[in-house]
A = this chain, B = another copy of it.
Amino acid sequence: MSEFDLIDALLADEPPLPSWVSTGPGDDAAVLAPPPDSEWVLSTDTLVEGRHFFAHTPPDLLAYRALAVNLSDLAAMGATPSGFLVALVAPGLDTEWCRRFSAGLRAAAGDCGARLVGGNLARGSLAVTVTVTGTVPRGRALLRSGAAVGDDIYVSGRIGGALAARRTLEGDAAIAATLSGLSLDDVPDPLRAYLLPAARVELGQQLRGVASACIDVSDGLLADLGHLCARSSVGARIELASLLVADVDPLEAVVAGDDYELLFTVPAGRSMQLPGNDLPLTRIGRIEHGAAVRLLAADGREVASAKRGWSHF
């Protein structure tokens, strides 16, 4: 199987490229035409087998995850996705694997606008590096650094869902068989939050001009709020009772990674009714003076958290 056969398989079912892609796959580099008065937003993330995804993960679910976690970074910036590059390292590939992989990319992109514009194949231990690019109107990117004392803290969706799903998988004695038998269309509900995370791309764009700061919850809510506070030179308090939590302990949920919800701050008292968005947006606390992120129980007492979330390295 030659590299070119594999690339053909990866591109076989791709629809025609949109107008903003001047040059797609097949040249030395991709060329994208940005809208006028825009800035470019770029992020890259690698998934390594056995560390960021389970061995035996089918190619469509792997590809879905690799793109979704990157789109989540664009969402956190309020960016409109445009293109992505895939650098795939694998011990061996066949055309069927490649077709399923590219179906996973298309599923993760959905109708958010992100299109495969280039990439690279290399032989080695299985790992996928996706680089995403998107645009924001000039000066309108949502940064981590804009939170101010008194701002309300919000999070989208439900926290801890990925942890609950991962536990279900890890408790499955036949995990290899279960995983390898799955495909995009038949992931059981209890596993979806982990295997098919939804990047909040639409919400991120709606938050431009609304949120004062934003980050995605990839390392765990507490750790990610810590990153946001550090960049904004502020502290925060979280009211545990207000959190919308999946079927896990709230103290576990706040340090669990992989939820890919958006955590953002909004000037105090601002209404968070966003048009046409049925994703729950929950006010979970407030930005404070200082540098600490404090967790408060329902009775107002401060609660200690055992750990701080996912470490990348």
Interface residues in chain A, defined as those with a beta carbon under 8 Å from any beta carbon in chain B: 1-3, 6, 22-23, 26-34, 36, 38-52, 73-74, 76-77, 79, 83, 85-87, 89, 93, 117-125, 127, 129, 131-133, 136, 138-139, 141, 143-145, 214-216, 231, 311-313
Contacts and interface: CB of A to CB of B under 8 A. Distances in A.
26 contacts: A2-B313, A27-B143, A27-B145, A28-B74, A28-B76, A28-B77, A29-B74, A29-B132, A30-B41, A31-B42, A31-B77, A32-B39, A32-B40, A34-B34, A34-B38, A40-B40, A42-B85, A42-B118, A42-B131, A42-B133, A47-B122, A48-B123, A51-B122, A120-B129, A121-B312, A121-B313
A76 B85 CA distance: 18
Contact of A46 (B28, B83, B120, B311): B120
A231 B23 CA distance: 12
Output the residue of A38, A119, A131 with the most chain B CB within 10 A.
Answer: A131
Instruction: Name the prevailing secondary structure of the A interface residues.
Output: strand
What is the copy number of this chain in the assembly? 2
A48 B47 CA distance: 15
Contacts of A86: 44
Given A311-B3, A313-B122, A313-B123, A85 B28 contact: no
B89 A27 contact: no
Nearest to A124: B48
Contacts of A127: 89, 122, 124-125, 127
Contacts of A139: 22
